[in-house]
Amino acid sequence: MFWNFKNTRAEEIINKFIVMKHNLKARAKLEPERKVAGNTSLDQVLHANIARLTGGISPIALMQAYADWSQHMLLSPDKQLALIEKAVNQWSRYLDFHARSCRNPHCDVCIEPLPQDKRFSGEAWQKWPFVGIYQGFLLSQQWWHYAMTGVNGVSRHHEDVMSFVMRQLLDVFSPANYILTNPEIIDATVKQHGMNFVRGSLNFWEDWQRIISNQKPVGAEAFEVGRNIAVTPGKVIFRNRLIELIQYSPATDKVFPEPVLIIPAWIMKYYILDLSPENSLVKYLVEQGHTVFMISWKNPAGEDRELGMEDYRRLGVMEAIKAISAIIPKHPIHAVGYCLGGTILGITAAAMIRDGDERLKSLTLLAAQFDFTEAGELMLFIDPAQINLIEHMMAEQGFLDTRQMSGAFQLLRSNDLIWSKIVRNYLMGERRPMIDLMAWNADATRMPYRMHSEYLRQLFLNNDLAEERYCVDDRPVSLRDIRIPVFAVSTVSDHVAPWRSVYKIHALTNADVTFVLSNGGHNAGIVSPPDHPRRHHQIATHDDLDAYVNPDDWQKQATHHEGSWWPCWLNWLQHYSGDPVETPGPGAPRRGYKPLCDAPGTYVLEK
């Protein structure tokens, strides 16, 4: 044999790696707080450290997308010629605009910003030379979008990734982000004699100190859980290792017999639906004669790493249903699920109906998805390479941290959540007043390693639920088993659960679906009290026996309403409820559900 393996340097290198691996395992035993699920490996250590450096973004996923795009672009002469032609046309339009603006400063621009892009909407931006600066930027942005998309042979996912990455890179160089190219900053500097920079420096220092000391943003301390938010009266009547179940005190002499169970997403604290008294959905329901229960999820730590999706279904939703059925027996439940809570509610309902369990009266799904093939820009972070990196990062610490989650969401709306904030806070020297919804958004929770891995792989990556491969009790569940009435709410500007993705509930179930499309985003469109001055929505009910209507046709046909969707939902709930009865007391001590403490409970206060 021409290769004498025993006498080579390779054997020595391999032995060193084996020793290193044993050392890593020994270290894991000595440091139980960092012990991972399964055996510690070199892959895991390497990937976890890469994730820390990149903020959880997989460089392999980015390189795969770039390789796919660049190689196909190299072999696409038609696309290359089209890009050259587009560049020439854009330069021609740009020069023509400058010629026209010399004669008429108020002439039409050559390109309009996208509807959601508010960076250049101010009057100062429409004056020379700034109008020319931002017009050039928008034309460049348009050209690069054209370059990243429509290349024959590139996968849709890689095309989306490249388009997203290029948009992020271009946004760094937006003229709105720099002092000399932003007329609003220049104007503020002149009028304030530079004091905006002094205040901005102080703002930056204050924010930096709060970040490194892991404190909430400025102004969030004005909103305290149990003092001025999450203050609807109630009692915690059940607690296990994953949830506290809150039963809210009735506000009317009689109540509808069917209780309402609200299942919030566990990615954030439950009280988004019980914020300030003036915009609390819980308070609105109890004042209209409903008995309301709410799940408050525990904030998991490293020791909760092995909690999975089945634990959230069994210890969370099913235990809550069991408790409510003991407190208010013989009456089915109106179940409400928000975002991820709606997804687990759909899984639970399908399994219950499959097994002949009739304890659910209706389902209300708030910005909840079941088919993840069109789950918006979050899918940019979902592919095997990306999930592999996230899993190794979570495995080392046992959970996905709040900062690691928030980074991805901020990138999806970088103009609003990153760059405009930097300009406003540090260059303009201004602070946006803190509101209860923003304070709640800063009060995030962690997610266990196993649950988040299962959620990403089974639901997002493999779409097992919609394709009837998702198993409960070792048997697949089908959403088509759901035949009880469904009220589904989506929002126009939702970047987490796009409304067309939420709309797929029509095709996935055999239920009569009342579908609502509200203005606003993922959170603000749901927290929509009746007296909100800028709310409107569309609504229509689809009988399961009727022909399917695609989302665009539905949007053209659905009835428009000014104001909040909450009253429409209240009427829908009352339609499926019985005649009012005497109000129940808190808990059921004789059945093992005695009041444990006052709302909002203890889990919501855990950091």
Residue-wise pLDDT tens digits, 76-90: 999 999 999 999 999
pLDDT higher than threshold 70 for residue 126: yes
Tokens of 405: 């989650």
Q: How far apart are CA 214 and CA 76, in angstroms?
A: 49
Mean pLDDT, range 197-219, rounded to an integer: 92
Beta strand 260-263 with 333-338 is parallel
**pLDDT attached to residue 230:** 97
Mean pLDDT, range 92-117, rounded to an integer: 90
Asked if 568 and 489 count as a contact pair (C-beta separation under 8 A), the reply is: no
**pLDDT attached to residue 598:** 97
Three state DSSP letters for 168-220: HHHHHCCHHHCHHHCHHHHHHHHHHCCHHHHHHHHHHHHHHHHHHCCCCCCCH
**pLDDT attached to residue 24:** 41
Q: Is 471 a catalytic residue?
A: no
* CA nearest to 270, candidates 287, 252, 294, 241: 294
pLDDT higher at 402 or 513? 513
pLDDT higher than threshold 70 for residue 7: no
pLDDT band, residue 14 (cuts 50/70/90): very low
**pLDDT attached to residue 389:** 85
**pLDDT attached to residue 26:** 40
pLDDT higher than threshold 80 for residue 331: yes
**pLDDT attached to residue 374:** 87
pLDDT band, residue 408 (cuts 50/70/90): low
Tokens of 102: 């010399």
Q: SS3 for 360?
A: strand
Residue 523 sits at φ, ψ, to 5 deg, of -105, -50
- The count of other CB atoms within 10 Å of the CB of residue 325 is 17
Q: How far apart are CA 510 and CA 333, in angstroms?
A: 19
Give pLDDT tens digits for 358-392: 999 999 999 999 999 988 777 888 888 888 888 88
Alpha helices in 505-550 (DSSP H): 505-508
pLDDT higher than threshold 50 for residue 357: yes
Mean pLDDT, range 254-259, rounded to an integer: 97
Q: How far apart are CA 296 and CA 247, in angstroms?
A: 11
* CA nearest to 379, candidates 468, 265, 552, 497: 497
Which distant-in-sequence residues (6+ apart) come within 8 Å of 425 by Cβ? 200, 203, 204, 207, 431
**pLDDT attached to residue 414:** 73
pLDDT higher than threshold 70 for residue 343: yes
pLDDT band, residue 234 (cuts 50/70/90): very high
pLDDT higher at 347 or 393? 347
**pLDDT attached to residue 409:** 67
Mean pLDDT, range 26-38, rounded to an integer: 39
**Residue type at 444 in one-letter notation:** A
pLDDT higher than threshold 80 for residue 263: yes
pLDDT band, residue 33 (cuts 50/70/90): very low
Catalytic residue among 102, 107, 339, 471: 339
Q: How far apart are CA 503 and CA 505, in angstroms?
A: 5
pLDDT higher at 396 or 142? 142
**pLDDT attached to residue 37:** 42
pLDDT higher than threshold 60 for residue 18: no
Asked if 259 and 328 count as a contact pair (C-beta separation under 8 A), the reply is: yes
Mean pLDDT, range 209-228, rounded to an integer: 91
pLDDT higher than threshold 50 for residue 40: yes
The pTM of this model reads 0.88
* CA nearest to 164, candidates 191, 184, 192, 145: 145
* CA nearest to 539, candidates 520, 513, 521: 513
pLDDT higher at 46 or 477? 477
**pLDDT attached to residue 406:** 67
